[in-house]
Amino acid sequence: MSNPLPARTIELVKSTVPALSARGSDITTVMYGKLFQDDHIRALFNHSNQGDNGSQVHALSGALIAYAQNIDKLDALVPVVERIAHKHIGYHILPEHYDYVARALLAAIEEVLAPDITQEVLEAWGEAYWFLADILINREADIRTTLENSKGGWNGWRKFKITAKQPESDVITSFTLSPVDGLPVLAHRPGQYLTLRLKLEDGRTIKRNYSISCAPNNDHYRISVKLEPNGQGGSRFLHETAQIGDVIDLTPPAGDFFLPDEPERPVVLLSAGVGLTPMVSMAETIGAHYPDIETYYVHGALNSRTHAMDKHVRQVAKQHGKMFVATFYSDPTNDDLCGKTHDQDGYISPDWLSANTPFHNADFFLCGPKPFLRTMVYALAKRGVKTDRIHYEFFGPTDENIAA
C-alpha cells in the first residue's frame, strides 16, 4: 500500500500518539455521541457494542492509535483494512456515510484535546482520515462487485425466511435461513458470518452478526445462536420469539476469517463455547471436499448441557476418516462421564495440543471468547507455531492486541 500523504501530515498525525494513548477512549465516546445524533446513521450500527463501556469504543480507540503509529508504514494496516471493509459490507455502510464519521471524529478530537490541539493538526487528521476512507471505499466497492457478480450474490439487504429451528443444546439453537425470492444464494467461504436485521416486538430494529454453521451451498444458510439472557435482544428474539416462517433481512456473507480454497496442510479447528459455529462450517466443508486433509476438531464446553452439535460433528468426522474429534468439559455435570460424553476434563491446553495434533505442521483456526483467544493465540505463537498459520475470529469488535 503506497503512501502519498505529505511528510508534514505524517509528522503531525504521529505527534498525536501520546495524546491518543491517554484520551483515545474519551475521543471515541464523544465521537459516537455526536454521530448518533443522526437517527439514520445511528441505525447503521450494532448497539450491543456501543456505549461508555462498549467494546467498540475501545476497539476504535485502539484502531486510531494503530493508524497514527503506522501512518508511515501502511502495509501493516492491510489486515485491519480488510476486516473493516467486510464489517462495512455486513452493515451496508456506503460511501456517503463516511462524511458523517469524518465530522464527528474531527469534532471529538478537537473537543477532547482542547486547548492543546492546533488547527494544523486537525487538518492533518482530516487529510489522514480521508486517505484511509478512500482506501476502504475502494476495497468495499471491489468486494461488492465480486458479490454481485457471483452466483446467488446480492448487494444490500435481502429477505430470508426461517425454514427450520433446531435446538442444539440448552443454550444454542440453529436456524436455517432460505431466500424468500426462491433464487440461489451466494456460497459463503467457510468461517464467514451473516449480518441480520431484526425488528423486535418493542419496535426497535437491531443488527447482529452470526457465523454461518453449515458448509457452503447455493440453497440456504444456517446460523447457530447462543441465548444471552442479559443481552440487548438479538439472541433472545431469535430463541424466544422468532418462529418458522418469519422473515429476516440479511446482507451477503462477509468476513476475512475462512478456510482456504485449497488447504495445503493439516488443519486444527480450535474453539470454545459458541465459537464452534464457524468450525462446524469448516468441518462440514473438509468432510465433503477434502478427503486427504488431516483435521483435528478440538472444542471446549462447560458440559453436555451447553455442548452443541457433538453427534453431528462426530458423524462428519467418521465419514471423512481423517478427522479427529476431542472435546473438553470444564464443568461436567453429575451425568457427564469422561470417555463417554466427552474426551477430557478441564480446559484445552497447549501441552495437550502439542502432544495430540501436528503442532508445527498445521494451520490453526480459532474462535471463541476473548480470554480463550488471548491464551491460545499467545501460547501457540510462544511454542513456535508460525504466525501465518494462526488464524482467529471472535464475536464483537476486533481487538488488534489479542496476541499481546
Q: What are 209's strand-pairing partners?
A: 195
Q: Which of 67, 91, 98, 210 is catalytic?
A: 98
CA distances from 59 to 16, 121, 215, 402 (A): 18, 23, 31, 11
What nine digits make up the cell of 110? 478537537
Q: For residues 178 and 197, what is the distance between their CA atoms, to the nearest angstrom?
A: 15
Q: For residues 149 and 152, what is the distance between their CA atoms, to the nearest angstrom?
A: 8
> What torsion, rounded to 10 degrees, do the Cα atoms 157, 159, 162, 167 define?
0
Q: 329 catalytic, yes or no?
A: no
Q: 193 catalytic, yes or no?
A: no
Starting at the edge strand found earlier in the chain, the sheet holding 390-393 runs: 344-345, 323-329, 295-301, 267-272, 363-367, 390-393
Q: For residues 176 and 353, what is the distance between their CA atoms, to the nearest angstrom?
A: 33
Q: For residues 222 and 174, what is the distance between their CA atoms, to the nearest angstrom?
A: 7
Q: Which of 110, 129, 140, 193 is catalytic?
A: 140
Which residues, in sequence order, are CB contacts of 53 under 8 Å at separation 6+?
none
Catalytic positions, please? 98, 140
